[in-house]
Amino acid sequence: MACSIDARPIHALEPFKEQPTVTSSDTVISADRLAAEIGRLGDTLQQVRRSIGRVIFGQQATIDQTLITLLAGGHALLVGVPGLAKTRLVMTLGVVLGLEDKRVQCTPDLMPADILGSEVLEEAETGRRSFRFIPGPVFCQLLMADEINRASPRTQSALLQAMQEGRVTVGGHPHPLPQPFHVLATQNPIEQEGTYPLPEAQLDRFLMQIDVTYPEQAAERQMLLATTGAEEDKAEPVMTAADLLLAQRLVRRVPVGDSVVEAILTLVRSGRPDSSEIETVRQHVAWGPGPRASQALMLAARARALMEGRFAPSVEDVVALAPAILRHRMALNFAARAEGIGLDEVIDRLIKPLR
């Protein structure tokens, strides 16, 4: 069911609010209330897309996948050549979703303390000395790690605990991060000189790897005219951080049918060479996706259904999201590279039975 777009101005929309859940004894009322909450969120998300579309042209697939990642409570790795509005997208998301955003430009000499923060020794007027923690840029709600593969492995690992646990440990003391907390990292697929490939454990922490492609000619024409004039259109706030947290909780309440669950399990397990029945996987895949891929597909499928105004995900959602969720959780062996077989080709073979 398509979700209609409210014609009222963004500032006139009522904020999305989660309603309290009724007891299980009143199933009909509970289902109606959940449907109403999903409908309100769907309308709000349409306004979010419209606001982002004022400044980002021709990247609707990238926008939708990034929003799905945030709704699912995850992190995203944006892969694309320079000049495709990756940085602008993150900044715009911060404005539209009402999130505090910060940016870190990764370089080989970037140290973990430059991201996490550090403790400094201070001396009071009484002469007493003590350590005071100065938070780094990771203490925000939306962190952009630009060209993350240019940071050293030591610095890359500084983000692992933050991405997985929502906190960092400095000087033996844990420091919780603001909620919600999301990392949107960028990576250049062309220039690899002076880069450090992300380890598999950290790649697995990203819910999606979003490949950012060139815009179509019509979109590039629109961008050319809109961004080189005397004035540029600006995005308007639509949601707040509290609204996003409520939306993330609502995503987890969306019902999922058995057919979707079985499709996710079949897809993920068929990508593992030791248990797959697909000959291409057994011969050309070095290692396949783990259980975190199944969890990511489940949450992302629910979020995509909400994005499109539907009350439950379908197998079509699983098929559409599979490449972005699996491509950084699988690796090909030497035989595949020698035969010129790419990872997208293998993933397409995995999802073929579901189409």
Walk me through the domains of the chain, giving residue ranges and CATH numbers: 39-253 (3.40.50.300), 254-354 (1.10.8.80)
CA angle 138, 141, 144 (to 5 degrees): 60
Which amino acid, residue 281?
Answer: V
CA-closest candidate to residue 106, choices 166, 141, 156, 163: 156
pLDDT, residue 311, reads: 87
Average pLDDT score over the chain? 85
pLDDT, residue 310, reads: 87
The answer to whether residue 26 scores a pLDDT higher than 80 is: no
Cα gap 306→312, rounded to integer Å = 8
* HSE toward the beta carbon, residue 3, CA cutoff 13 A: 22
pLDDT, residue 347, reads: 92
The answer to whether residue 279 scores a pLDDT higher than 50 is: yes
Average pLDDT over residues 4-10: 40
pLDDT, residue 210, reads: 94
Query: Confidence class of residue 5 from pLDDT cuts 50, 70 and 90?
Result: very low
The answer to whether residue 241 scores a pLDDT higher than 80 is: yes
Burial bucket for residue 136 (CB in 10 Å: 0-12, 13-18, 19+): buried
What is the DSSP pairing of strand 208-211 with strand 117-123? Answer: unpaired
Higher pLDDT, 48 or 196: 48
Q: Which range has the worst mean pLDDT, 18-22, 106-110, 191-195, 336-340?
A: 18-22
Cα gap 143→104, rounded to integer Å = 8
Indicate left, alpha or beta for 182 from its phi (over 0: left) and psi (-120 to 50: alpha). Answer: beta
Average pLDDT over residues 321-334: 92
Burial bucket for residue 135 (CB in 10 Å: 0-12, 13-18, 19+): middle
Higher pLDDT, 62 or 9: 62
Which pair of tokens denotes residue 298? Answer: 């489940």
Q: Write the pLDDT tens digit of every residue in 45-102.
A: 999 999 998 888 888 899 999 999 999 999 999 998 888 888 889 999 999 999 999 9
Contacts of residue 316, Cβ cutoff 8 Å, sequence gap at least 6: none
pLDDT, residue 23, reads: 43
Query: Confidence class of residue 4 from pLDDT cuts 50, 70 and 90?
Result: very low
Average pLDDT over residues 201-219: 90
pLDDT, residue 27, reads: 56
Query: Confidence class of residue 123 from pLDDT cuts 50, 70 and 90?
Result: confident
How many residues in total does the chain contain? Answer: 355
> Alpha-carbon torsion 183, 184, 190, 191, what sign?
negative
Q: Which range has the worst mean pLDDT, 12-16, 113-117, 271-275?
A: 12-16
Given a contact cutoff of 8 angstroms between Cβ atoms, the answer to whether 226 and 185 are in contact is no
The answer to whether residue 255 scores a pLDDT higher than 80 is: yes
The answer to whether residue 38 scores a pLDDT higher than 90 is: no
Quick check: helix, strand or coil at residue 301?
A: helix
Helix axes 258-269 and 315-326, enclosed angle (nearest 10): 30
The answer to whether residue 235 scores a pLDDT higher than 50 is: yes
Cα gap 301→162, rounded to integer Å = 25
Say which residue the tokens 């979707």 belong to.
260
Average pLDDT over residues 104-130: 85
Q: CA–CA distance from 199 to each of 142, 190, 242, 250 (Å)? A: 22, 18, 33, 32
Say which residue the tokens 């000087």 belong to.
171
Contacts of residue 226, Cβ cutoff 8 Å, sequence gap at least 6: 57, 232, 233
What's the first-to-final CA gap in the chain, in angstroms?
20
The answer to whether residue 18 scores a pLDDT higher than 60 is: no
Average pLDDT over residues 333-355: 88
pLDDT, residue 2, reads: 41
**What number of other Cβ atoms are within 10 A of residue 255's Cβ?**
12
Query: Confidence class of residue 28 from pLDDT cuts 50, 70 and 90?
Result: low
Indicate left, alpha or beta for 127 from its phi (over 0: left) and psi (-120 to 50: alpha). Answer: left
pLDDT, residue 185, reads: 94
**What number of other Cβ atoms are within 10 A of residue 238's Cβ?**
24
Cα gap 323→108, rounded to integer Å = 30
Q: Among the residues of 270-314, which ranges form H helices?
A: 279-284, 291-307
Cα gap 341→353, rounded to integer Å = 19
Enter the pTM of the model: 0.86
